[in-house]
Structure formats: structure tokens, C-alpha cells
Structure 1
Amino acid sequence: MTLAELIAQARTALDTAIANRTQEQDALVALRSDENLTEDAVRAQVERRDAADAEVTRRQQALEELEAEQAREDELAALQARTTPAVTRAPAYDRVARVGAEERTYRPDEDRRGARFERDVAAAFLGDYEARDRLARHMAEERTERGEQLQRAAGTGAFSGLVVPQYLTDLYAPAAAAKRPFADACRHHDLPAQGMTVNLSRITTPTNADLQASENTAVAEQDIDDTLMTINVQTNAGQQTLSRQAIERGTGVEPVVMDDLFRRYSSRLDATLLNQATNGLTNVATAVAYTDTTPTVAEMYPKILEGLSGVESALLDMASGENIAVMHSRRWYWMQNAMSNTWPLVSQPGIAAQMSGTNLGTTYGSGVRGTLPNGTPVIVDNNIATNLGAGTNEDEVYLVDRNECHLWEDPNAPMFIRAEQPKLASLGVLLVVYGYFAYTHARYAQARKIGGTGLVAPTFTGV
């Protein structure tokens, strides 16, 4: 491998490290915007960000060392070119007669399709000094033979087949993702380092207390008993195989692919917490039916209060009071479209008179989007299904105590594997993103969901 190729490889590694560091910083900013963040979570994310920062510094130093080495090689080559043996100097180029012509750098008879020229353009962009020299020599030859043509007032449009396109890699458009708004609102725990299950004890038969019938008579007694709750650890993973040509000859290919894998990882985790069979929120929540052929926001809102009442009734003294409403963005905007001349009779904390809630104006995935008329925070999550019901056009609204939506994640998740050996025979590089997690919304049967024909695809009519 040449020194130029090593430099190109080092630049690719630096780009990857910078992309990873940017992702960790974005995650830290998102975490700090969460009203329910913990000091331990912030400290752990800062450590991950600092580790990524250190990797950027290491990659930068490696690249600078290679570039310094290349600069020294170029300096020695230039020095050698200026040094001549101590013999009679040959006549200058323009002082001798020449017969015939020197060979051109790029010859049509050897390279009819211009492939060598195109390869040198790409290599020069990646820092190949030999390719740059060949291109400079080619331009000198063109000025000598076709100087008048090159100096004519012709724009790039006259040479559409020769002008190399430039790609704005810093403005590439990643595929949009729903990511993990609900998962970020759940109560987080570090996943234990070992084992494929998480076991919790649930007290299902409590003790008893009652009034004593009379003095010296037995008091109430009931034997306490628990039931073991077993939660499976699951693996979330995705992979992508890239050709070495794409990585080594492309610009920013590997960081772009890694960013997309991380987006898919987040979206799949969140969708699992909401929609997974048996354990997903939609399958453990108690239904609150809203059946209406002409639904309005004013008619749906009492169903929200009914659901919140059910949450508190299930938790009693175990309620944390940190209730949230989780809904699809189409439902959130539908609720905002309602206009009314009626107002709640009971004022609520943080909600001014004659207001039916507040919109905080935050962007998707940034945490709480607003509050309902009774002050319940709203989380908007587009991983919520919109194909429910008999007409396959309904969504659901979930009402939960966020501290009873438990999510265990590996502190280092998602993790990244870059493997070259498995795909070596086909010059491929395998990129894998994976992580372990466990979750439950069923430590208490507290979750409620509003569903039914009243939640079909909304029409924005102002009611």
C-alpha cells in the first residue's frame, strides 16, 4: 500500500470518528433537553462523548503524521530533481533541436475511454500526489498544443463531459426515521452485564389489617406472597456490507451508512416497545373505547381523562404523578386544530383561563411537545400504528405513568462492529450495529389506550 493510499484510509477513519463524535454530542444535547434526566445518565453520555472525542484526536494525529511524512517525501523528491551530477550541463530544452514528439501523458491509443484520466481525477481529490503531477503535466501539454482554444470564452457548459461533478457530502439527505420519542420518555435502567432475562418480584397477595373484634382476640393475618415476573433480554441489530471500493474511493460513505444504521436501530427499539406482540404497550394497555362516526376533539378529551383516571386507580399510592399521553403526530395536530367557545370549568396548573392546552413548539423527537388541558405532557411518536381497527385507518392514544414504563439498555448500546475478514474474498467490509435491551409496561396493569372509530385518519375541520 502506498503512502497516498494510507493517507486516504486515515482520512476515511477520521471522517468516521468525527461522525461518531457528532452523534454522541447530539445524543447528549437530546438527553439534557429531557425534563426527567438523571445525573448518572448525563455523566454516562458525557463519558461516551469524551471517548469519541479522544478517538477523533487520535485519528487526527495519525493523519497529520502521515501527511508530514508525505510532505517530507515530496521535499526530498524535489531536492533530488534539482540536484545534478558534477558534469557538463546539458543544453537547455529550448537550445536543442528535437525530432518527432514526446509521448502525451494520456494517449487515446492507450486509453480510448479516458479511464486513466478519470481515475487520476478521483485519486488527486483523495490526496494522491502522483496523480496530481500527471494532471498538471496534462494541462501543460494542453496549453502548449491548444492554448488558444483553452483561452476562448467558453464556459463549463461547453465541456459537460469533462467537468468533474462535485458532491456536497456535508448536505446529504439521510432517510427520515421515527427514532425513539417514547423510549426516551420511559424510565431507564442499566441492563445487567450478564444473563438473558430480567426477573422482578411482584407482590400479588398482600398482608391484611382489620379491626380487632375484642380485646385479646386474634388480629387479622394474611400470608404475603409474590409472583416472579420474567422479562426477556432482546437483541436489536442491523448490518450492511460495503465494497472496499465504496469506502476507499468514495467520500464519507462509511459515516453515512453508520448514521442510517443508528437511525434504524433507534426506530426499531421504539416500535418494539409500542407494538410488539404480547408485551408491547398496545397489547398490555386496558382499552378505553371512543366510538364516533363524526369525532371531535371536545368529545375525545373526556376519554383522555377517563384513561388517566384508570391509571391512577391501578397504581394508587404507587403512582408517581408523572403521567404522559403518547400519540401520533397526526393526532396531536388534529387536537390543535379544534376551535371552541367552551372552556374547562376547573382551572389546571400551568394552563391559563380559556386555554385548552399548550403547544410548546418543539420539534419532533425533542421530548415533550405540549400539554393537554389538565396539564398532562404529550409525547408525539410516529412509531404508533395508523392501520388499526376494522377500517385499518385508526391510531391509538396511550396514557401511562412514565415511571412504570421500564426500559433496560446496555450503557454502551448501540455497539458497532466493523469486520473485514468475513467478506475479504469479495473485497467487502461488514458493518454491524447491535444492542441488548429489556422492557416492561406491566409491573402494574396501569396503562390505558384510547381507540376506536373516533380515531380514524383525522380531517382538519376545526372541531
Structure 2
Amino acid sequence: MPHRVTHHTQLPIHRKDFGMPGIDDLIASIEVEQEAAKKRRTKCGKEIELILAKAQQDGRSALSAEEDERVAELFAARDQAAADIEGIGNKLANANKIKTEEMERAAAQREVAPTQTRAPAYDRVARVGTEERTYRPDTDRRGKQFLMDISRQFLFQDVEAAGRLSRHMAEERIERAEYMARAVGTGAFAGLTVPQYLTDLYAPATAALRPFADVCNRHELPEQGMSVNISRITTASSAEIQAAENAAVSETNMDDTLLTVPVQTAAGQQTVSRQAIDRGTGIEDVTMQDLFNRVATKLDATLLNQATTGLTNVATALAYTDGTPTGAEMYPKILGAAAGVEAALLAMGRPTHAVMHSRRWYWLSSQMSSTWPLINWSGVPVQASGTADSASSYGSGPRGVLPCGLEVIVDNNIATNYGTGTNEDELYVVPASECHLWEDPNAPLFIRAEQAAAANLGVLLVAYSYFAYTFGRYANGMQKVGGTGLVTPAF
């Protein structure tokens, strides 16, 4: 970490006089490098496990050519990370050796022998110490100082606030250089990175507003560009019975189509009053939570409802039309949707989740029946039409399991104004492996102040993050149940 110099007028010493980092800075930097290498090694191993597990789950005796190539790349990357870890360890050992020698030398220098020389005055002594992070949990636990500095720098051009924010961004460039480079590469407008401990603090609450997004197949957003490109096979090869010996065998040239997925920006805003900036206490909870909630909600709602590419527009519809709907009548429709997913994907995936509005989940839970399915999933009682997890809550993961094994995700970003009566919702049956979502791992990422609402004495704070998604790798790979059978339920 950088050094801080305490100085007085009589003995000016400036930070810029120290061109080289101190040994503590060097050790901290090497430790960060070592931790990053360990994470790369672990990540490679986990991805290899996932590829092998998927092949096992699909019942395949061998990996595909693409999977073999990817596994080879991951093994090479893992070996390189292991070699890096060994090299970094040697470098760290040498740095610690130097630090020990410096400490011994400093201890020897502190030994004082009596002389007739007059000791210098206190205000003529320069002292160098280790500098802590500008914003950290022990001094700014919920981000109040961070938000106040953003607002004060924007509203009042506060020099001290600007200085703290500048130091914070310099620290981010040192400690998260790779991530900062990725953020710059998006081409979007610049902003301040939210301190990592605040992202960690508020992230659990944001997850409650993105239940579907949290079960999607997550990928790390590419470092550059505003789109993600995927090759999609649209014409497959063929095979036929050979007509006779030496007769020509079937041949169809494979062809693919480029699937381009745009990188989008999810953003939320909050206006902070000048009174709160000047005199506020406790504004950080409301402000940070609201900003993060808005970003999470918008991202999830986009995945479900966006025109053309949202799940409601990609999914193949299966109608359930009934003036007096019942759970017993609706359940076969859910199975029909699951059958459609499996028919479209075959060995490339399977239906895993039923995503529905909370009102539909509670309506299904309210349904009574004297009959039960002929086939139940393992762990589902014979005389039950599914199970519910009594310990789960909104956004905390699956709420239960249907008799066919589909895990239920409750998401209130599903619209409830479908149909001619604008009172219908929809139920989606999806394979989580084909619900692709690219995000930066530390999102929500940025915050900035916009033009002040001068007439209302307010400053507009905007939080935003980048993401990309697609459900369109396979035609009919997503299915939905909709119609008059999904009108506002009566309990």
C-alpha cells in the first residue's frame, strides 16, 4: 500500500518525492498477485469439473470436440497458474527477507547514544507511516462518507472530497487493475467504482430482486466491446443408409449463424437532498440499498420482459385456456412445456426450473386434489403434488419442487397484465444451462453524480452495471404456459 507523509511547514516533504513504492507496498502487491494466481488455478479446476459433470449428466461416454479443446486449454491455464504461484512465492519470500533486514536495520537505528546535540523540535520531524484504504469498513461501514464525498464534490467542488475520491480510484487501479481495464473497455460513460466491501455488504439484498437472474448460467463479461458473439449451428450434417456398396453416402455441409448478444447497461438512480448532504445521518442505508435494488430489479425484468429477446418473447407458448382453472388441470400443461424443452434440446440440456409469479405459486399451493401423479420425482411424497421448502423466502433460491422434479423459482418481475383482460401472468419452463447471462463479477459496479436538481436542492446519484444475456441458442429451448387459466387467482 502507498505511504503517507506527515510534514510541517518548516520541513516540506511531498508524496511525489517517493518515486518507488515501499517494501510494504511491494509485499502487498505480490500477495495480491499470488491470490489472483490461486483464484485462476481454482477457477480452471472448477470449470473442468463442470464440463465433466455435464457430460456425465447427459449420459455421454466422451466429451465433444469443443469440450475436449476447452479442457485442454483449462489444464494448460491451470498448469501455468501453478507455475506462477511457485514463482510468485519465491518473489514473496525474497521481499519478506528484505523487509526483515530493513526492520533489523531500523531497530539498530533507533538505538540512541547520549550526545551533546540538541534534539530537533517536534514540528521539524518528518514521519512516514502506512496508509490505509480511503474508504474501509472500520471507518465507513455503510458507505456514508463515500456517498457524501460524491455529492459534495459534485455540488460544492469540495477539494477534500475530490482528493479522497481521487485516492480511492488510484487504489482501485492498483488492486483491481484487470477489472478496471475491463470497465474502461465497454465504451460507456465513466463513473466511480463502488468500494468492494460495500458491494459485498449490499449484494445479498439485491439478490432478492433478481430471482431468475440468479439461476441463469453465469459467465464473466468479456473484457472489451459492446457485444458477445456466439456461433450457432443452423444446418447440421446428415447420415443415411448407404444404398449399395461403393455408393455415395449422405453429405450435408454444416453451416452456422452468428448470434450477436448486445451488452446492455442496467441503471438506477436516487436523488439525495442538499439537507441530507449537509446534515444527514443514516442516509447510506437507504441510498445504497435503493440504488442496488433498482439495478438488480431492472436487470431481472429485462431478462424476462424485454422486447424480442426477453424470455416471454423467446419462449414457445403452450396455451391453458379455462374459465375455472384448477391446479390439477394446469399441471399437465407444465409437463407439456417440459416435454417441449427436452424435445428441442435432447442431449444438450434438460428442463430444470419452473419460473412463476408468487401469486401463481401460492395458488398452486392452495389447490386440493383427491388424486396424485402416476410418477413422482424422488423425494416427493406420493400423495403430494410437489413440495415446498419451509425455510426459503423470496429470492433465496428454489421455493419448492414439482412432482416432475422442476425446481420452482418465484419471481415477481413476471408481468401480470397479459391477455385481453390484462390480468394474466405466465409460467416459464426453462433449462438453466441455456439461460446465459454475462456480468462483471463485482456488479453493481459504478456510481456517479448527475446534474443537480437545483430547484429541489438535490443531487441525482446513478448506479449502473453492464450485462448481456441470451435464451436463443436453440429454437424452442424455452417454453411457457399462458392463457385465461392464469388470470388473477381467487383464494
Normalised by the shorter chain, which TM-score bucket?
0.5 to 0.7
Distance 1:318 1:424, change over 3 A: closer
Of the candidates 226, 238, 258, which is equivalent to residue 228 of structure 1? Answer: 258
Distance 1:178 1:348, change over 3 A: closer
Of the candidates 136, 140, 145, which is equivalent to residue 55 of structure 1? Answer: 136
**Does structure 2 retain, via aligned residues, the 8 Å contact 1:279–1:441?**
yes
Residues 261-319 of structure 1: per-residue CA shift (max 9 Å, x gap): 11111111111100111111010111100000010000010000100000000001111
Q: Take 2:383 and 2:140, find their aligned partners in 1: how far apart are those partners?
A: 58
SS at match of 2:466: strand
1:398 aligns with 2:479: no
1:323 aligns with 2:352: yes
Aligned sequence identity (%)? 63
Of the candidates 338, 341, 347, which is equivalent to residue 367 of structure 2? Answer: 338
In terms of Rg, which structure is larger? 1
Paired residue for 1:285? 315
Distance 1:250 1:450, change over 3 A: same
Q: Take 1:53 and 1:186, find their aligned partners in 2: how far apart are those partners?
A: 35
Q: Take 1:403 and 1:429, find their aligned partners in 2: how far apart are those partners?
A: 42
Distance 1:280 1:56, change over 3 A: same
| 1:241 Cα deviation from its structure 2 partner | 3.5
Residues 45-87 of structure 1: per-residue CA shift (max 9 Å, x gap): xxxxxx9998214658xx9xxxxxxxxxxxxxxxxxxxxxxxx
Residues 349-382 of structure 1: per-residue CA shift (max 9 Å, x gap): 2212212110112111101000111121100000
Distance 1:425 1:283, change over 3 A: closer
| 1:254 Cα deviation from its structure 2 partner | 3.2
For residues 421-432 of structure 1, the aligned pairs below 5 Å read: 423=452, 429-432=459-462
Of the candidates 362, 371, 379, which is equivalent to residue 350 of structure 1? Answer: 379
**Does structure 1 retain, via aligned residues, the 8 Å contact 2:393–2:399?**
yes
Q: Take 2:448 and 2:243, find their aligned partners in 1: how far apart are those partners?
A: 73
Paired residue for 1:309? 339
Q: Report the AA paired with residue 323 of structure 1.
A: T
1:377 aligns with 2:401: no
- Structure 1's unaligned 5+ residue stretches are 1-37, 41-50, 64-174
Q: Report the AA paired with residue 229 of structure 1.
A: L
| 1:429 Cα deviation from its structure 2 partner | 4.4
**Does structure 2 retain, via aligned residues, the 8 Å contact 1:241–1:428?**
yes
Distance 1:424 1:213, change over 3 A: closer
Q: Take 2:363 and 2:212, find their aligned partners in 1: how far apart are those partners?
A: 20
Residues 400-423 of structure 1: per-residue CA shift (max 9 Å, x gap): 101111111122221232449x65
- Structure 2's unaligned 5+ residue stretches are 1-44, 48-131, 145-204
Q: Report the AA paired with residue 325 of structure 1.
A: A
Of the candidates 454, 459, 462, which is equivalent to residue 485 of structure 2? Answer: 454
**Does structure 2 retain, via aligned residues, the 8 Å contact 1:247–1:254?**
no
Distance 1:448 1:52, change over 3 A: farther
Paired residue for 2:233? 203
SS at match of 2:399: strand
SS at match of 1:264: helix
| 1:178 Cα deviation from its structure 2 partner | 6.6
Q: Report the AA paired with residue 324 of structure 1.
A: H
Distance 1:353 1:440, change over 3 A: same
Residues 168-220 of structure 1: per-residue CA shift (max 9 Å, x gap): xxxxxxx9997100010111101112111111100111111222222222221
**Does structure 2 retain, via aligned residues, the 8 Å contact 1:326–1:381?**
yes
Paired residue for 1:189? 219
